[in-house]
Amino acid sequence: MLGHLDGDGKYTYIIWPGSDPSSTIGFRVPADDSFMQAAGSADAMTVEVRLPGPDGESHLYSVGRPEPADGTTTLIPISDDRAVRVFSNEIFTADEAAVIFYTYYLTDAVSQPYVLRELDLSNELSEER
Measured CA to CA, the distance from residue 80 to residue 59 in angstroms comes to: 26
- 24 φψ region: left (φ > 0), alpha (ψ -120 to 50), beta (else): alpha
**Predicted local confidence at residue 96, as pLDDT:** 96
CB 40 within 8 A of CB 46: yes
How does DSSP assign 29-72, residue by residue?
A: SBSSS-EEEEEEETTEEEEEEEEE-TTSSEEEEEEE-SSPP-S-
**Predicted local confidence at residue 98, as pLDDT:** 96
Tell me the whole-structure pTM to 2 decimals: 0.86
**Predicted local confidence at residue 20, as pLDDT:** 67
Tell me the C-alpha to C-alpha distance, in Å, between residue 76 and each of 96, 122, 125. 16, 20, 12
pLDDT digits (tens), the chain, 129 positions:
898 889 888 989 888 877 666 666 655 555 567 899 999 999 999 999 999 888 888 999 999 999 877 888 999 999 999 999 999 999 999 999 999 999 998 998 998 899 999 999 888 888 898
**Predicted local confidence at residue 54, as pLDDT:** 84
